[in-house]
């Protein structure tokens, strides 16, 4: 939604938008709590099992004792998947965009292939995040004088947009998550905030 569209919203529409954003934030917080609970379960299970096997990467075991890719895991062991193993791969999802990789000219003689019948011979799919673009939400506060009694009534700012707040609830929740769950300092978060609001 553009700045002009936000500026054209009525107070009732602005409140509805903020309520919608609050609902989305609650859903994200619920998913985050579920993920944290699952991580705690896995960590507890790993602790019950005595932890992962010691390797040169996670212990003082010398590199010479670590498993080498070109060395069998045990006496007489055969490298590679067991016989009859079908293998696994990530299940592909319906694409949001499709890039057509079609040849335009013959590599042999240089002829134009625009009218030639083309056959699809393969697909390649990747999962990517969309560009993160901050949205600036500005609330315009109005007051009006009553034509009947002359009293002045001032509208209240909606929750999440009231001063002296600078960042919205979703952005604050994300920053809190980074600070509490990951080793991101307040100084680095402030630097991220300056990057996100510059330009």
Residue with tokens 């507890």: 44
Q: Where are the chain's structural domains?
A: 1-47+136-157, 166-199
Check residue 175 and give its pLDDT.
Answer: 78
Check residue 111 and give its pLDDT.
Answer: 93
Check residue 6 and give its pLDDT.
Answer: 74
End-to-end CA distance of the chain: 18
Q: Where are the beta strands (DSSP E) in the chain?
A: 143-145, 152-154
Using DSSP's 3-state secondary structure scheme, residue 123 falls into coil
Check residue 28 and give its pLDDT.
Answer: 92
Check residue 102 and give its pLDDT.
Answer: 93
| Interstrand relation of 143-145 and 152-154 (parallel, antiparallel or unpaired) | antiparallel
Q: Where are the beta strands (DSSP E) in 48-133?
A: none
**Residue 160: left if φ>0, alpha if ψ -120 to 50, beta else—which one?**
left
Check residue 128 and give its pLDDT.
Answer: 87
In 3D, which of 173, 138, 157, 160 has the Cα closest to residue 19?
160
Residue 139 contacts residue 21 (beta carbons within 8 Å): no
pTM exceeding 0.75? no
Residue with tokens 């069998």: 72
Per-residue pLDDT of the chain (199 residues; tens, 9 = 90+): 677 777 788 888 888 888 888 989 999 999 999 999 988 888 787 777 766 666 777 666 677 666 555 555 555 555 666 666 666 677 888 998 999 999 999 999 999 998 999 999 999 998 888 887 888 889 999 999 999 999 999 999 998 888 888 888 888 888 788 888 888 887 887 777 666 555 4
Calpha distance 44→62 (Å, rounded): 28
Check residue 71 and give its pLDDT.
Answer: 54
């Amino acid at each position: 939604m553009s700045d002009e569209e936000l500026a054209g919203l009525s107070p009732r529409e602005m409140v509805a938008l903020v309520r919608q954003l609050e609902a989305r934030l609650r859903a994200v917080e619920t998913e985050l709590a579920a993920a944290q609970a699952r991580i705690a379960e896995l960590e507890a299970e790993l602790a019950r099992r005595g932890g992962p096997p010691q390797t040169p990467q996670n212990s003082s075991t010398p590199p010479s004792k670590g498993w080498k890719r070109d060395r069998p895991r045990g006496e007489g062991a055969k490298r590679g998947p067991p016989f009859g193993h079908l293998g696994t791969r990530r299940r592909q999802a319906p694409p949001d965009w499709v890039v057509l990789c079609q040849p335009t000219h013959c590599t042999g003689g240089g002829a134009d292939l625009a009218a030639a019948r083309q056959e699809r011979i393969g697909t390649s799919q990747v999962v990517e995040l969309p560009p993160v673009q901050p949205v600036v939400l500005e609330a315009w506060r109005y007051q009006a004088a009553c034509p009947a009694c002359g009293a002045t009534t001032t509208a209240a700012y909606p929750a999440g947009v009231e001063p002296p707040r600078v960042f919205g609830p979703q952005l604050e929740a994300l920053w809190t998550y980074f600070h509490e769950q990951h080793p991101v300092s307040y100084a680095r978060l402030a630097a991220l905030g300056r990057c996100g609001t510059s330009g």
